[in-house]
């Protein structure tokens, strides 16, 4: 080590009469910039802790009409940055074996993918959300791939609604996890599912996520049944103005590979009703509490 230090010093030529000055080696000009400092921090990260998102995913996150706090939590989740137990270990914050377990199921270590997708309780929650939308099928077990699949299953007009729904689920899950871990509150899937629907209702009224004229009671209780996907288009039921639903579906044969593309248009007609508002998301009083939601979904497969 001493020899290396001597060799490094001997290669430096000192100019007599020249004053010493500071030089930032991360830039060619030698001047400090926040961008260059951030680049140094990124290059020195622990392997596996740095996750880059593609441009399309980043735009979907930040362009989604949702509260900033929900978009920020989503961005941190997709980049594997939330302080879950596995991430705390990477930062040399070591917890006990019991504290490192998922406090929802208490069977596996808490990781981002387990907490938000793989835990039996969160799996049941996602099943409830998908059942509400009237869709099913296998889903990725990685949060980034899950986000992409969930958002992109809809046509372009529906994707912002689906992205906001995904963010709402993730945000409420994170809040429920913290309430359980730090305040001892029990996990109750039905309560969490109700909180998600209530919060999404308020977001919908604030950000106009969909062309909705749906009553709050119908929003909370109606199942968004998927239209027919057997190759025939048709009408399934007819709305009667009391919160019942009607849906139409159609499928077409793709010209390039014979792949059937099933499309469901979800139409819920609601009557009168009122919704509780959130203290965190103020709902403008000018909005009506009745409406219609039109959601187009392209099932995967």
Q: Mind listing the pLDDT tens digit for each residue in 55-94?
A: 888 888 999 999 999 999 999 999 888 999 989 988 889 8
pLDDT band at 209 (very low <50, low <70, confident <90, very high): confident
For the chain, how far is it from start to end, CA to CA, in angstroms? Answer: 61
Going by pLDDT thresholds of 50, 70 and 90, the confidence category of residue 143 is very high
- Structural domain boundaries in the chain: 50-206, 211-297
Q: Specify the pLDDT at position 84.
A: 93
Burial 145-160 (b: 16+ CB within 10 A, else e): ebbbbbbbbbeeebbb
The total number of residues written for the chain in this structure: 301
**If you write DSSP's letter for every residue of the chain in order, what string do you get?**
-HHHHHHHHHTPPP-TT-------TTSSS----HHHHHHHHHHTSPTTS-----HHHHHHHHHSSS-HHHHHHHHHHHTT-S--HHHHHHTT----TTTTB-TTTSSSB--HHIIIIISHHHHHHHHHHHHHHT------SSHHHHHHHHHHTB-GGGHHHHHHHHHHHHHHHHHHHHHHHHH-PPP-HHHHHHHHHHHHHHHHHHH--S-----HHHHHH--------SS--EEE----SSS-EEEEEEEEE-TTT--EEEEEEEEEE--S---PPPSSSPPPTTS-S--EEEEEE----
Give the burial class of 119: count Cβ atoms within 10 A of its Cβ; 0-12 exposed, 13-18 middle, 19 or more buried: buried
Query: Is 0.85 surpassed by the pTM of this model?
Result: no
Work out the angle at residue 63's Cα, subtended by the Cα atoms of residues 58 and 69, and round it to the nearest 5 degrees: 85
Q: What are the backbone dihedrals phi and psi of residue 190, each rounded to the nearest 5 degrees, phi first?
A: -65, -40
**Range with the poorest average pLDDT among 35-44, 46-55, 86-95:** 46-55
């Amino acid at each position: 080590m001493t020899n290396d230090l001597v060799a490094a010093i001997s290669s430096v030529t000192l100019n007599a009469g020249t004053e010493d000055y500071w030089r930032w080696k991360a830039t060619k000009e030698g001047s400090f910039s926040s961008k260059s400092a951030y680049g140094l921090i990124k290059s020195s990260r622990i392997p596996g802790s740095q996750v880059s998102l593609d441009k399309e995913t980043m735009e979907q996150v930040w362009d989604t009409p949702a509260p900033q706090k929900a978009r920020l939590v989503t961005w941190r989740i997709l980049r594997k940055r939330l302080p879950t137990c596995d991430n705390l270990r990477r930062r040399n914050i070591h917890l006990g074996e019991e504290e490192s377990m998922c406090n929802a199921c208490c069977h596996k270590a808490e990781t981002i993918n387990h907490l938000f997708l793989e835990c039996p309780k969160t799996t049941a929650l996602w099943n409830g959300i998908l059942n509400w939308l009237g869709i099913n099928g296998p889903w990725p077990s990685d949060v980034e791939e899950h986000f992409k699949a969930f958002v992109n299953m809809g046509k372009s007009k529906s994707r912002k609604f689906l992205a906001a729904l995904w963010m709402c689920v993730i945000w409420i899950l994170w809040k429920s996890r913290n309430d359980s871990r730090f305040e001892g509150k029990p996990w109750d899937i039905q309560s969490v599912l109700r909180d998600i629907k209530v919060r999404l209702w308020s977001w919908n009224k604030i950000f106009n996520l969909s062309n909705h004229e749906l009553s709050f009671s119908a929003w909370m209780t109606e199942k968004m049944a998927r239209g027919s996907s057997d190759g025939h288009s048709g009408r399934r039921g007819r709305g009667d103005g009391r919160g019942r639903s009607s849906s139409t579906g159609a499928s077409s044969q793709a010209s390039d590979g014979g792949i059937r593309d099933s499309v469901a248009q979800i139409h819920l007609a609601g009557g009168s009703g009122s919704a509780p508002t959130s203290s965190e998301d103020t709902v403008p009083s000018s909005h009506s509490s009745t409406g219609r939601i039109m959601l187009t979904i392209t099932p995967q497969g």
